[in-house]
A and B are shown apart, each in its own frame.
Chain A
Amino acid sequence: MAKLLDLEVSRASIAVRLILGALLGALGFLVFYYVPANFLRLASDVLRMEIPPQAAGVLSSLVDPALPLVGLALAPAIFLCALFRGTKAYGPLTVALSLLFATYVFLWFHGGAISLALSIDPIGGGVPMEPSMSIRVEMAMLMALFLIPPILGVAKGVLLMLEKDRRR
């Protein structure tokens, strides 16, 4: 038996936790950091074509610059949560992970509204116009829906901390 903070666990359990944490952390790194950080290149690979500069600008603006950084912070948080599950650190780690997720969701939805500026080709049909286009997508309610799980996660973390305190 080995001691993991305040929890007595078997060595095998620690090994499982490490492996599971590493897998989940790697998955989190891939999904929450690698994909948004390399969005353009991945999109180009999937579509098997060079993304035109105008479209590249639009696609780039879909990803908030801070999103990969938060995604990068999520990977170790996921690993630590998997490792320290059931310990006294699990409650604070759950709160931290949930807050990171909440931040990630907020950045993913650009705070509830995303504005894109497009420069498009001249309109055809004999209209000699070189237009500029801007699109604004309001999705505050959808963002609120996605914020519910992290908020519940924060509540869960607080309850975990209260439970640990009561057991002491």
Chain B
Amino acid sequence: MRLSKGIDLLNALIVVTVIAAFTVAFILAINAFGAVSSLRVGEPSVNSSGSVVEISFPISLSNSGPFAVSDIRVSAELRDFDGSLIASASSQPFSVPAGARGEQHYLPIRVALSEIPQERLSALFSNARNLTLGATAGAALAPFVSVSVHLSGDIPWNPPVKDFELGDPVLLGYNSTHIVASIPVRFENSADIAVEGTVNALFVDADTGSEIGSGYLEVDAPPRSEFAGELQFALRLPENASALMLEERTFRCNATFGFRVFGIQVYSVTSPFELAWGPPVGSPYLGSPSVAPYNSTHSMFRLPFGFTNANELVTLDGSARLGLEIGGSLVAESAPVGVHAPPGSAFSGELTMLVPNWALSAPGTLIITLETQFGIASVEVPVNG
């Protein structure tokens, strides 16, 4: 009797559990279909703070229930062609309770650029290669079903800084300690990401290795565009700047251009670099001197002189003086003659001074002194009376 009651009870339980199982399966299907069909993913927003880039995906989800859609999460990782990890990110899991309508959530994915090794970052910015993206998304209708989706694939990576080129530098200005110049910078952003940041340039003397200048350039290169800009920089003049007045010179240096994006240096390239300097007092010449009696004790000494300002930038302003030194003593000196020579122009003038007659027959040294914005430079010419 008890057994037959037990059998009846089992029959009833079997019916109940079959109905319950199919009911739960049906409700789960409706629940899942409703949630998936209500899913909306908006345009991602990108924010950066320091070297951390946060990509936030707004999603909207409704859940008619009765089960909560829980443990919704997204994670992604990007690997280099050799399988080494470049970046990984994951969102905090969240849930959408039963009955929620159009609930807004944000799936933030944070990438810390500073955690990517510098060499790898630099290679990524300059070399084309294949990257592997793996993304995993998951959700659960607890406690019965959980779903995880894994997406992976190779992405051809085009470098953001391709065919980096420097043009010919142009002198822009100078002061007593520095010259300012600009250099055309060009590269192609062949990537699908924008390059927004700065290019910082550091100039190092090619001979001594000491730092002689720096400059920077704002960069804003949209995806798949060519960027061209002028990088301005200042080069420190040598301590003996007066030599620059007379000497043709080539500043040879190694320039290192560092790209800073999101506050960290992502790529740097070093290139040899030359800047030609033409002497503001180029091809100086002295004409034939002439002497004419002035009075019983002195004669008038005239010396024509001239030069060409071979510098493309500098207008030479100052004065020239003539002196005669005999036995280490200055025996005659002219009044200063004004000098004004715009770039590329020829300048000629005449220096005159009264010379004691006795000095005309004594061996000595004519000293021509130029006093300009570069300082004082002298030319000494021996004379034998």
Chain B positions 132 through 164: 1 when the CB is less than 8 Å from some CB of chain A, otherwise 0: 010000000001111111111111100000000
Report the minimal beta-carbon distance from A97 to chain B, rounded to whole angstroms: 12
Q: Which of A72-123 contact B (CB under 8 A)?
A: 123
Residues of A within 8 A of B192 (CB): 126-127
The A/B interface has a contact count, at CB < 8 Å, of: 85
Q: Is B175 an interface residue (CB 8 A)?
A: no
- Bound complex: CA of A82 vs CA of B151, how far in Å? 49
Contact of A163 with B7 in the complex, beta carbons under 8 Å: yes
Question: Which single residue of chain A is at the shortest CB-CB distance from B157?
Answer: A128
Q: Is A1 an interface residue (CB 8 A)?
A: no
Q: Which of B219-259 contact A (CB under 8 A)?
A: none
Contact of A142 with B24 in the complex, beta carbons under 8 Å: yes
Q: Is B172 an interface residue (CB 8 A)?
A: no
Contact of A156 with B10 in the complex, beta carbons under 8 Å: yes
Q: Is B21 an interface residue (CB 8 A)?
A: yes
- Bound complex: CA of A123 vs CA of B28, how far in Å? 30
Contact of B11 with A131 in the complex, beta carbons under 8 Å: no
Residues of A within 8 A of B144 (CB): 139, 141-142, 145
Chain B positions 69 through 111: 1 when the CB is less than 8 Å from some CB of chain A, otherwise 0: 0000000000000000000000000000000000000000000
- B148 CB contact (under 8 Å) in A132, A136, A152, A162: A136
Residues of A within 8 A of B18 (CB): 149
Q: Is A135 an interface residue (CB 8 A)?
A: yes
Contact of B7 with A159 in the complex, beta carbons under 8 Å: yes
Residues of B within 8 A of A129 (CB): 133, 153-155
- Bound complex: CA of A125 vs CA of B13, how far in Å? 54
Q: Is B25 an interface residue (CB 8 A)?
A: yes
Contact of A131 with B145 in the complex, beta carbons under 8 Å: no
- A131 CB contact (under 8 Å) in B13, B21, B151: B151
Contact of B21 with A156 in the complex, beta carbons under 8 Å: no
Q: Is B209 an interface residue (CB 8 A)?
A: no
Contact of B10 with A152 in the complex, beta carbons under 8 Å: yes
- Bound complex: CA of A128 vs CA of B155, how far in Å? 6
Q: Is B20 an interface residue (CB 8 A)?
A: yes
Q: Which of B1-30 contact A (CB under 8 A)?
A: 3-4, 6-7, 10-11, 13-14, 17-18, 20-21, 24-25, 28
Q: Which of A124-158 contact B (CB under 8 A)?
A: 126-139, 141-142, 145-146, 148-149, 152-153, 155-156
Q: Is A3 an interface residue (CB 8 A)?
A: no
- Bound complex: CA of A149 vs CA of B3, how far in Å? 18
- Bound complex: CA of A162 vs CA of B133, how far in Å? 61
Contact of A141 with B10 in the complex, beta carbons under 8 Å: no
18 A-B pairs, CB-CB below 8 angstroms? A128-B155, A129-B133, A131-B151, A133-B149, A133-B150, A133-B152, A134-B149, A135-B147, A138-B145, A138-B146, A139-B144, A142-B25, A145-B20, A149-B17, A153-B10, A156-B10, A163-B3, A163-B7
Q: A-contacting residues of B (Cβ < 8 Å)?
A: 3-4, 6-7, 10-11, 13-14, 17-18, 20-21, 24-25, 28, 133, 143-156, 192
Seed contacts A132-B151, A142-B144, A152-B14; 8 additional CB < 8 Å A-B pairs:
A128-B155, A128-B156, A136-B147, A141-B143, A142-B24, A152-B13, A159-B3, A162-B3
A-B residue pairs, 10 tightest by C-beta: A131-B153, A156-B10, A163-B3, A142-B144, A148-B17, A138-B146, A129-B153, A141-B144, A145-B21, A146-B21
